[in-house]
Structure 1
Amino acid sequence: MGAGLACIKTQAGKRKTSEEILTAESAYLIWKLRCEQVIQNDNEPFNEREIENRWINMINEHIQLDRRMTSWKYGRQSISPKLVKATWKGLLEREHSLPDDWVTNSGVLVGIESDLCRRTGPRGR
């Protein structure tokens, strides 16, 4: 419950928002998986590939939510595309080749993908 209170900073004192998000989301996924394992799966553990794929999917959903929240339809409550870029900087797959408007361009697919998923995942990479 306290994962949302994590404040991770650089040595210079600047917050590392993306790492804070990853910490909170990871803790939540661990809790969900443990509940699912005990309640639904007769305490049968998940395999590593399934855990990794679920983590990647969860983080990608968070990135997509952040992108949608930049929409003008939210008015003053929308978040800045600049903030979204700064939040996820250094964590996106092929980040160097993304167009400048990747945050607001709904046709651009972005996200996090692991080596394991590239080798064995459903997309066949």
Structure 2
Amino acid sequence: MKKLQVLIVLSLISLQALATQPPFKSMPDMPLPVQMLQWDLMSSDELLIVNYINPLEADLYFKVTGPQGYVIHVQDLSDVKRSNIGFHFKDLAAGEYTVQLESGDIILDTKKIVLE
């Protein structure tokens, strides 16, 4: 009887260990969608242009943060595979603005724009 109890306890421990492992990736050589992104942030005076290619439609967001740290603009770019977008700073107050291109928790690029 004691052997049966020990066997049950060991099997429960091994099941718990298997349940806490990360899921098995069926194709470990496949790139993550974020690894396939290509982008370029360009700015001139009061215009920022974002060129990007997103072939696997990874989560991609364009975010602008104002001088006080508040997010003033967020744009979801996940559904489009390739595009050019622009953002005008001409009507915004003077200060330092932060532009970020992010995918999930990963910040891909950051650019500071200073308006006087």
Per the normalisation by structure 1, the TM-score is 0.20
More strand by share: 2
Larger Rg: 2
Per the normalisation by structure 2, the TM-score is 0.21
